[in-house]
């Protein structure tokens, strides 16, 4: 039982469980799965201003805020009580490539050499943390949703825009991982 809770679940268990959220949300309340819209709901709730984008009944979407809160609480519980103390296992070829960039610490999911408070004030850290965060937020808004919304909910309900968005997410990920990230890490 301990291995089940402390290690990654195989795709044939985790995938169907994630996939079952779509029919569950549709059957239980005709709701769509997605996370990125919750920021709009929070802004509409906390900053009632005369901005037309935030003038809607955010209370109808309160379930989404509880869903996001559950993700946050679940992540905190998992990090504090269920985390695997062993270093993250990565492919030896990737370990060699990353060591060329000075990344050798795999004790956490995100390498400490890349994401930490000190690197935030370097060019590499600024690009990775601040610019990267902005581009993710902008891209999510521009695409009309995040990867989970489009790739899980949109594809399962046969939405053409979600297929296009998912293809663009994949192409962008390949370009970033293979062409742009090596340039940034070499700074």
Q: What's the pLDDT score for residue 1?
A: 58
Q: What's the pLDDT score for residue 2?
A: 62
DSSP 128: I
- Tokens found for residue 103: 């990344």
Cα distances (Å, whole numbers) of residue 28 to 14, 24, 32, 71: 21, 6, 11, 19
Residue 62 burial (CB count, 10 A)? 12
Domain limits, the chain: 1-83, 114-187
Per-residue pLDDT of the chain (187 residues; tens, 9 = 90+): 566 777 778 889 988 988 888 888 888 888 877 788 888 888 888 876 777 777 788 888 888 888 889 989 998 998 888 877 777 778 889 889 888 888 887 766 678 777 888 888 888 889 988 999 899 888 888 888 888 888 888 888 899 999 999 999 999 999 999 999 899 888 8
* Residue 131 CA from chain centroid, whole number: 16
Q: What's the pLDDT score for residue 107?
A: 66
């Amino acid at each position: 039982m301990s291995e089940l809770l402390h290690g990654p679940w195989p795709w044939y268990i985790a995938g169907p469980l994630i996939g079952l959220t779509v029919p569950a949300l549709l059957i239980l309340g005709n709701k769509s799965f997605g996370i990125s819209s919750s920021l709009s709901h929070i802004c509409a709730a906390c900053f009632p201003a005369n901005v037309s984008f935030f003038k809607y009944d955010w209370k109808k979407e309160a379930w989404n805020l509880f869903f996001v809160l559950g993700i946050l609480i679940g992540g905190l519980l998992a990090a504090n009580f269920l985390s695997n103390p062993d270093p993250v296992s990565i492919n030896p070829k990737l370990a060699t490539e990353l060591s060329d960039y000075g990344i050798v610490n795999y004790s956490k999911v995100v390498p400490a050499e890349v994401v930490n408070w000190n690197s935030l004030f370097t060019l590499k850290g600024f690009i990775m943390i601040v610019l990267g965060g902005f581009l993710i937020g902008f891209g999510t808004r521009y695409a009309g949703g995040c990867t989970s919304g489009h790739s899980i909910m949109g594809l399962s309900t046969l939405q053409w825009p979600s297929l296009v968005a998912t293809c663009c997410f994949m192409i962008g990920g390949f370009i970033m991982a293979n062409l742009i990230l090596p340039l940034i890490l070499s700074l």
